Amino acid sequence: MSGNSAERSPVTVEVRDSIAHVVMRRGDRGNPIDLVMACALLDAARTCRRANARVVLLRGEGHSFCVGGDLRDFEAVDVEKRRDHLISVTDALHDALRVFASMEAPLIAAVHGSVAGAGVGLAAAADVTIAAADAVFRLAYTGIGYSPDAGVTWWLPRLVGPKRAMELLLTNPRISADEAVAMGLITRVTEGETLVDEAQRLAGQLARGATGAFGATKHLVAQGLSSGLDTQLDRESRSLAAAAVSPEGVEGLAAFRAKRPPRFLPPPED
C-alpha cells in the first residue's frame, strides 16, 4: 500500500452548500486504487450519505482522474496472498459504488488526463460525467491478463452496447474524450481549464433541485435496464404517485400554478 496513507486520507470530503466535494488526492501517482484508496472511497461515500448531501461531485487531483488499480501495490503482495488482497480491494471499492448508487443525490464525475481500468468504472458509474478535452480512456484489464472490476462489465454494455463493450475490453484502445462522448461513455467534453467550474455549476443547479425526484429517477433508470416493460410501468406508476404527495411534489405543483420557481431546498435551520 502507498506509504503516504498514514499522513492523510487519499480521499477527502467537504460538504458546502449541500454539495459533497469528494477528491482523490494521490495526484502525484495518478490516483491509483489500492486497499487504502478503496477503503477511503467507501468512507467518503458513507460520509456523503450521512451528511444528506444533495449532490456529490467526484474528481481527482493532479495530472489524471484515476489510472485504475495500483499495480505496484498488487505486485508487492505475494502471489499466494494476492487473491485475497484483490478481493479486499474490490469489495471496498464495490461497496463504495453501491453506496453512491443507492443515494438520492446525483453523482457527478469531473474527469481529466488518464482514466483507466477502475477509473473508467468510476466515471461510468456517475449520473453525469464531464471530461476535459485531454481525457484519455482505456480499459487495460485484459492487456495485463486481468478481468474487469468497478462495475465496468455492468455499466459499459449499457452505455455503449454489448458488442462495442466487448471490443473495447478485448482490445484496450485509447479512447479520446470526443470518442467517449460520441459512443455514450461520458456526458460531455469541456476545455480543461473550465472542467471544475462547469462541474461545480452543474452541481449547484442540481443541489437546488428536487433530490427525491432525482433519486427516484436514478433508481427507475437502473431498474429499467434489466426489467420487463410491465414491471417497469408498475414501478413508474408507484414512484410517480409517491412523488406527487411528497413535499417536493406538493411544492413543485404549487410553484407551477403560481408561475414561480419551485423552492426545493429545505428551510435553513435556526
Burial 126-149 (b: 16+ CB within 10 A, else e): bbbbbbbebbbbbbbbeeeeeebb
Q: What cell does 49 get?
A: 450519505
Report which DSSP code applies to 95: H
The string of pLDDT tens digits covering residues 71-116 is: 999 999 999 999 999 999 999 999 999 999 999 999 999 999 999 9
pLDDT category at 268 given cuts 50, 70, 90 is low
**Domain shared by 128 and 228, yes or no:** no
The string of pLDDT tens digits covering residues 225-235 is: 888 999 999 99
Residue 157, in any domain of the structure? yes
| Full residue range of the structural domain in which residue 59 is found | 3-207
**Domain shared by 107 and 60, yes or no:** yes
Q: Find out whether 105 and 211 touch, Cβ atoms under 8 Å.
A: yes
Residue 25, in any domain of the structure? yes
The average pLDDT across 156-170 equals 96
**Domain shared by 38 and 142, yes or no:** yes
Domain count, the chain: 2
Instruction: Judge whether residue 1 has pLDDT over 80.
Output: no
Quote the pLDDT of residue 89.
97
Instruction: Judge whether residue 3 has pLDDT over 90.
Output: no
Of the residues 207, 224, 247, the one at which a domain ends = 207
21 forms bridges with which residues in the sheet? 14, 57
Residue 232, in any domain of the structure? yes
